[in-house]
Amino acid sequence: METAEYGIVYAVHIISVQFGTVVSKVCECLLRRGHLSSRDISRLAESEINHNQVKDILYLLIQHNCVQAFSIEPPDGSESKATVQYLVLLSNILHRGRYNKFSRVVNDELGSECGAVLDGLLCNGRLTLGQLIERDQDSEKSIGSKVIKDSLQKLVAARFVERIPSPEPVLANKEQEPAKKRGPKAAKILKEPETLEERVLEAATPVDTIRFPLVFEEDSNSSIADNDNNITEGKRKQRDVDFSPTSNEVIWRPNFEEFIRRLRHKVCVEIVKERRDEGCAIVLRAMLEVGRSQEKKVKTDKSVPMSVGSIYEEVIKTVAGRTMLQERVEACLDQLCATSSYLPAFVIEMDSSYIVDLKSIISVAQKDEMEAVVMRRYGKEAFRMFRYLSQEGRFVETDKIADAALTEKKDTPQILLKMWKDSYLHMQKFVVTGGGSGYTSFLLWKVNKLIVTRQMLDEMYHASLNLSLRLTHEGDSEKELMMLSSKILEKTPEGALKERVKKVNAKRMLLSASRFKLDDAIMLFHDF
């Protein structure tokens, strides 16, 4: 899906707040123009940035996992060298506002010590084990080198942390790739990556045994072996992005894919709990746990097949599941396989095995979100029309929509036109000619989910940008007040100052909570 305009503006805002305006100019250039070489960026960026500055900025963005370098093989017979290109990763920029969510996932599952190690990686982008230990030694609440190493190993085993990808993968030149003959069955299973970003990330990602090693040792060349404790932050970052092949340091970074997968699964469980019951939610959570290691991408449509036995084994591992007999689990599976006029099947039964239909579960949540927006903006009548057209999935003429939605026929065209103007409906004019010279025209309407999704995402990015700007404004306008220490405020008698502090804190909490909730909706359409 093409990036929405406010998606670009919001991503640039995130980079601007965290790294400054100059860095955001380079980021915006890549977001708007696509992959570029460093010289092209210095030429096209709307700012007076020289080539050396551009390279430093690119190293910084690579360090924080916002940019990936790559090159494309030159054509056969060409003497020219492959030029290094830089690709901005929009999703990773948006993830920068989700670090609290990611930390909560790790703290809940692995504990606060693993959470502390993850926070170090989230703050610094990429670090070696030695640098993590060094960072811990500099902190006031040190947890010790052994705990750091054990925690890192737990994070890697759970796939929350991964070894960094290849610094500069080389892509095959598509123009000279030989056409591969495939049978009809193979064509369904093997799909070529659709976008350049997918090709680059696939080429850069190492195999799982390298990406998530089960055993790893601290390298003698790691920064902890250096007795120089006066390494500046700038020098450390520069060394982290030294991609020379002679370096043997193992560099680690957060694995955003796994965090988004966990959050996606959590949403699926919540949907099933709301639409079915607690028992079905427990069973689905167990099924997702069984099949998670087999998911090759975040937006997996369907899980691997699993037996009732393997599902039940996972169910009874949880406190809530220990009270469930296998009969109850089988009854829940029957419920999950059932369909209705409003709900699709969440689980598919096939040859005594069960498959979770994740795409169907997420589509229910997306549909609910779309209908809620239509209800708030256009009213109940528009909501009924939108729901009817969503269920039909085809073009329907105006009068039939009025009959199905139980609305006045004279009001129906105006309501439909309002939604069409805001890109929530797709319209076609259908003309039927009569036997003579006359003709009759009909307006046909349809919900195009792809167009609606893009429109909603753009509006949500815009809203999230406004909330972030307001939050920044509130912080700047009350900076002096918030800098007052808690001790000073404790000595201050009850009055206007304390009341003002309470109001400022309440306002900031409300804005933060609103942005947090809005980001959940953005993930639903963009990441899930």
Cα–Cα distance between 306 and 165 in angstroms, integer? 32
Cβ atoms of 434 and 455 within 8 Å: the answer is no
| Nearest CA among 392, 398, 412, 405 for reference residue 442 | 398
Structure confidence at residue 176 (pLDDT) = 57
314: Cα within 13 Å, side-chain hemisphere: 16
Give the H/E segment covering residue 170.
strand 170-171
pLDDT band at residue 79, thresholds of 50, 70 and 90? low
Model confidence pLDDT, tens digit, residues 117-156: 999 999 999 999 999 999 999 888 889 999 999 999 999 9
The alpha carbons of the chain give a radius of gyration, in whole angstroms, of 27
Structure confidence at residue 486 (pLDDT) = 53
Q: Is the pLDDT of residue 191 over 90?
A: no
| Nearest CA among 223, 228, 226 for reference residue 240 | 223
Q: Rounded mean pLDDT of the chain?
A: 86
Structure confidence at residue 239 (pLDDT) = 39
253: Cα within 13 Å, side-chain hemisphere: 21
Structure confidence at residue 17 (pLDDT) = 94
Which segments of 393-426 does DSSP mark as H helices, in order? 398-405, 412-421
β-bridge partners, 85: 70
Q: Is the pLDDT of residue 180 over 80?
A: no
- Percent of the residues in the chain that have a pLDDT greater than 90, as a whole number: 67
pLDDT band at residue 361, thresholds of 50, 70 and 90? very high
DSSP string, 289-346: HHHGGG--STT-SB---B-HHHHHHHHTTSTGGGG--HHHHHHHHHHHH---SS---S
Which residues does 429 contact at the CB level (< 8 Å), separation at least 6? 441, 442, 443, 444
pTM for this predicted structure: 0.85
Model confidence pLDDT, tens digit, residues 503-527: 888 888 999 999 999 999 999 999 9
Cβ atoms of 44 and 24 within 8 Å: the answer is no
DSSP string, 35-95: SB-HHHHHHHSSS---HHHHHHHHHHHHHTTSEEEEEEPPPTT--SPPPPEEEE-HHHHHH
Cα–Cα distance between 414 and 417 in angstroms, integer? 5
β-bridge partners, 428: 444
Cα–Cα distance between 267 and 192 in angstroms, integer? 29
Structure confidence at residue 45 (pLDDT) = 81
- What's the residue count for the chain? 528
Secondary structure letter of residue 223 according to DSSP:
G
pLDDT band at residue 100, thresholds of 50, 70 and 90? very high
Q: Which two tokens stand for residue 122?
A: 């989230």
| Nearest CA among 463, 425, 466, 472 for reference residue 446 | 425
Structure confidence at residue 483 (pLDDT) = 63
Cβ atoms of 503 and 469 within 8 Å: the answer is no
Model confidence pLDDT, tens digit, residues 24-70: 999 999 999 999 999 999 988 877 788 999 999 999 999 999 999 99
Cβ atoms of 162 and 211 within 8 Å: the answer is yes
Cα–Cα distance between 461 and 93 in angstroms, integer? 13
Q: Which residue has the higher pLDDT, 344 or 440?
A: 344
Give the H/E segment covering residue 347.
strand 347-350
Which residues does 223 contact at the CB level (< 8 Å), separation at least 6? 128, 130, 131, 134, 231, 236, 239, 249
Which residues does 448 contact at the CB level (< 8 Å), separation at least 6? 425, 426
Secondary structure letter of residue 438 according to DSSP:
-
Q: Is the pLDDT of residue 378 over 90?
A: yes
Q: How many C-beta neighbours within 10 Å does residue 254 have?
A: 24
Cα–Cα distance between 42 and 35 in angstroms, integer? 13
Q: Is the pLDDT of residue 228 over 50?
A: no
Q: Among 206-210, 231-235, 331-335, 342-346, whose mean pLDDT is lowest?
A: 231-235
pLDDT band at residue 74, thresholds of 50, 70 and 90? confident
Structure confidence at residue 441 (pLDDT) = 79
Cα–Cα distance between 424 and 451 in angstroms, integer? 7
Cα–Cα distance between 31 and 25 in angstroms, integer? 10
Q: Is the pLDDT of residue 459 over 70?
A: yes
Model confidence pLDDT, tens digit, residues 318-328: 998 999 999 99
Structure confidence at residue 73 (pLDDT) = 85
Q: Among 3-7, 178-182, 517-521, whose mean pLDDT is lowest?
A: 178-182
Model confidence pLDDT, tens digit, residues 237-285: 333 444 443 357 899 999 999 999 999 999 999 999 999 999 999 999 9
Cβ atoms of 401 and 391 within 8 Å: the answer is no
| Nearest CA among 330, 282, 335, 338 for reference residue 309 | 330
Provide the 3-class DSSP secondary structure of residue 432: strand
Q: How many C-beta neighbours within 10 Å does residue 186 have?
A: 10
Residue type, 135: R
Cα–Cα distance between 511 and 467 in angstroms, integer? 6
Structure confidence at residue 521 (pLDDT) = 95
Structure confidence at residue 241 (pLDDT) = 41
Dihedral angle sign, alpha carbons of residues 44, 49, 54, 58: negative
Secondary structure letter of residue 195 according to DSSP:
S
Structure confidence at residue 437 (pLDDT) = 56
Structure confidence at residue 139 (pLDDT) = 86
Cα–Cα distance between 470 and 468 in angstroms, integer? 5
